[in-house]
Every structure is written in C-alpha cells, then in structure tokens.
Amino acid sequence: MIDFWGTDHSFYDIGPMAWGDGVVDDADMEVLMSYYDQAWDYSDESIIDVTPPHSPQPGDGWRTDVEKGLPLSWTSGDTVTVHDLYLGTDRAAVENANISDTSGVYRGEQTGNSYMPAEGLQAGQTYYWRLDEVRPSDAAKRGEVWSFTVVYYIVDNFESYDDGWDTFTTIWHTWIDGWFTGITGAQVGYPFPPFADTITVHSGCQAMPFFYDNDGTILEGDAEYERSGVPYYSETQRTWEDPQDWTKNGVEVLSLWFYGDSGNSIEPFYAALEDGAGNRKEIQHPHPAAVTIDHWEQWTIRLADFTGVDPTKIKIMSIGVGDPAASQPGGSGLVRIDDIELHRSSGQ
C-alpha cells in the first residue's frame, strides 16, 4: 500500500468501503488497520498476488507516438506469470470481454511480459487494454483497464525524468536552465524532490515546472548561488546530439500544453527552434498574457512559421518567458509545460 501511496491503484484503493475513492491514502490505511490483530485463514484459496500485474508501458493515461508506443509491456505479479490480454479502442468492449470474444479484443494467453499487435498503432486513437491473471486452479482474476493515446510524434512528455542527480536523469539535465548556465532567469524543476511536477499534469505522471525571474538577479538570498547582472528574460533549452527530422509521418504542427497562474507577472511567452546550422526562429504566443492562463491550454504552431529553420535538422528547442532584447527588469512566475508533440494538423 505504501509503495502505491497517492496513486489510483485499484487493488489498494479499499476505502472508504466498498469501492474506494480513487486514490490510495489514509482512508485505505484505516480500512486495513480495522482488521488489525484479527485471525485470518490463509488457505490456498485465499492467497492472491500482493502485487498484481503493474507498471504498464505505455503508462496508464499516457500519450505516446506510433514509434515509441510498441511493444506493450508490463511487470507480472508475485506469483502469476500467465495472462489473458485484451486490447481495443472501445473501453466497454475491453472491460467486458472474456476469452470467448470473437471481435478481436481478446489477444490470447500471454506467457511473457510484452505484446506486439500485428496491426500496429494508429495516430489520433486512444487504446484500452487489460491483463487477467490466469490461475491453474481458479478462475482468471480480472485486471484493471489501462489506456493510452497515440499521436504522430512525441518530442517530450516529461515521463522519463527522475530525481537522479548523480545519474544525470533529472529534468534539468535535459532542459538546461539559468541555474546551470547563469545566462537567463529560468529555473526548471522544483528545488527538492520530486523535481518534476507530479500534481499539475496534462497527461501521464509528470510535467515540467518552469520558473521565470526577469529582474536581473536569480536565486536571491542564496549566498552560494545568487547571481546578478542576468539578462531580463528566462529561457530553457533542450539540445539533441543528432539533429531531429521533424517532417516524418507528414507532421506539420508543433504543439505543447502549458498551465500558468493568474498571479504571474505578465511577460511574453515564446518557443524557438534552431537547426544544425545555427538558424534560429522565435515565435511568441499570440495571447500577451498567456502565462496567466490558469488551466491546461494547448498551443499549436505551424512548423512552416519557423522560417529559415530546416525542419529536417532540428538541433535545439527553447521555451522562454520575457523578451530576450529587454533592457528593463521584468517580473516572475511559474508555468508548467507538458506533452510537446508533432501533429499533421492542429486538430490531430
């Protein structure tokens, strides 16, 4: 239960009785402790996997793309390693199907930990899948229904980062900010673990917190790290070792989701691309107070609008708040970023 604290894991979400409340928390611990010191018959019939099939890939509720979405994979439970797998695009069909299904939702008995559907994945589609534990002396134990949505290309969904400072796997080891460079007023990630945002997310489990501070001084009050004379804007950059082709699969649009705050200082919000030859183009969000929008908002930009930049050789993507040419101090605030993707059109 502790291992899944704060998640919506249905196996451990037991309180309030009888169906839980959607999150593993104190209510579930109270139900568990209500059985404290009571005798229990641990016969063969009552023993179940303490940990059922878990850790689906793609993760439940995640967005993935046609290249990264397969194969489907999972971690088996404690004792059962054989599963019946169901997969389809209709949640009800997947939830209600059994091994007698003839519609194609039932994908057969699986003895491994991965599955590759012969038909592949279709962009723009949400898929649902379920794993039932197959037991030799009992009926199959039904698993929960997982889902994932497929787009044409994921630039970054921020799910791969962790708190590994020593392993260089934190969010700011990829999205370089002012803390590392001292060049701008940007700070990516929270100062204490978890460094990624795990509460305010658009999809999946994580988003990128982006703090901007455009008054010319960063990390004020920190005797070791405070720096002044910083330009009056904030920018974070992701650099690819090998230039990326952003024209494959016929994509035409760059899309990102952002979540601002009504208390943020109003500053320009922009995205920029740079190709392998050093050609850079910056585009500002059309809403001058975009950083004050306090809900998830999708911003789409036609790749053709990044004039002068070769979309087949994208080397750097930048996200910023403020004006790189500003000569006067600006304000500060926090914007979350999630699900940077490429689509064929603004509606896909």
Question: Distance between CA 27 and CA 162 in Å, rounded?
Answer: 28
- The pLDDT value given to residue 312: 97
* CATH class of the 155-343 domain in this structure: mainly beta
User: Can you give the pLDDT at residue 26?
Assistant: 86
pLDDT of amino acid 44: 47
135 three-state secondary structure? coil
Q: What pLDDT does 80 receive?
A: 81
Quick one: which of 339, 269, 340, 260 has its CA closest to 295? 260
Instruction: Provide the pairing of β-strand 145-151 with 62-65.
Output: parallel
Gyration radius (Cα) of the chain, Å: 24
Give the architecture (CATH level 2) of 50-149. Answer: Sandwich (2.60)
Q: Give, for all 348 residues of the chain, the pLDDT tens digit.
A: 888 888 877 678 887 765 677 788 888 888 888 878 877 655 544 445 557 788 999 999 999 998 889 999 999 887 788 999 999 999 999 999 999 999 999 999 999 999 999 999 999 999 999 999 887 766 678 899 999 999 999 999 999 999 999 999 999 999 999 877 768 999 999 999 999 999 999 999 999 999 999 999 987 888 887 888 899 999 999 999 999 999 988 999 999 999 999 999 999 999 999 999 999 999 999 999 999 999 999 999 999 999 999 999 999 999 999 999 999 999 999 999 999 999 997 555
Domain boundaries, the chain: 1-40, 50-149, 155-343
pLDDT for the residue 227: 84
> What is the rounded CA–CA span in Å between residue 331 and residue 336?
17
Counting Cα atoms < 13 Å in the Cβ hemisphere of 93 gives 14
- Whether 50-149 and 155-343 share one fold: the answer is no
